[in-house]
A = this chain, B = another copy of it.
Amino acid sequence: MASDSKAGDGRSTAAPAGVRWEIIELLFFAYRDFVGDADHELEAFGFGRAHHRVLHFVHRYPGLKVADLLDVLRITKQSLGRVLKQLLDEGYIVQKAGNNDRRQRLLFATAKGEALVAKLAGLQTDRLNRALRDISPSGVDTIRQFLRAMIDRDDPDKVLEAIFGTGTATAKAKE
């Protein structure tokens, strides 16, 4: 059957570069199992992936504003609200009013939140360490370079700016 050469619809027309089916599928399975580690553990807490994402970024970027979180997760405040309320009610996260702007609710992980996030990140780190065991330090750099290059850099949110250490006088940065 029509194999690689069909290029049925005109995209990626250059002959040497076909569709990268293998990497597409590897990414699918790798990510599925990667998040599966955390998913399984989260069940025991009655939480889902959404809680993990919120807790993770609040832990990593303490003092994150609600608006920042919305940018990073790319969800609406209504969606965030439900998940965030649970995390607040159950003591995984606390809010503090901003110093300069007291309308802001700055978010911080509690000790309880830190513990959960550490457990989840530990599971994922275990998988990463197994996967990277036979890869040289420069190979790991290559992987990092690849992952960075996969990420959209236009309109970066606050977290991406931190990750990329943007000196790029972004249009979006305020204050």
Contacts and interface: CB of A to CB of B under 8 A. Distances in A.
Count copies of this chain in the complex. Answer: 2
Looking at chain A's contact residues, the main secondary structure is helix
Interface stretch (A86-94, A97-105, A140-148): A140-148
B9 A115 contact: yes
Contact of A125 (B1, B17, B142): B17
A122 B9 contact: yes
A52 to B, nearest CB: 10
Nearest to A172: B3
A150 B163 contact: no
A151 interface: yes
The 3 A-B residue pairs with the shortest CB-CB distance, nearest first, are: A11-B122, A131-B149, A30-B150
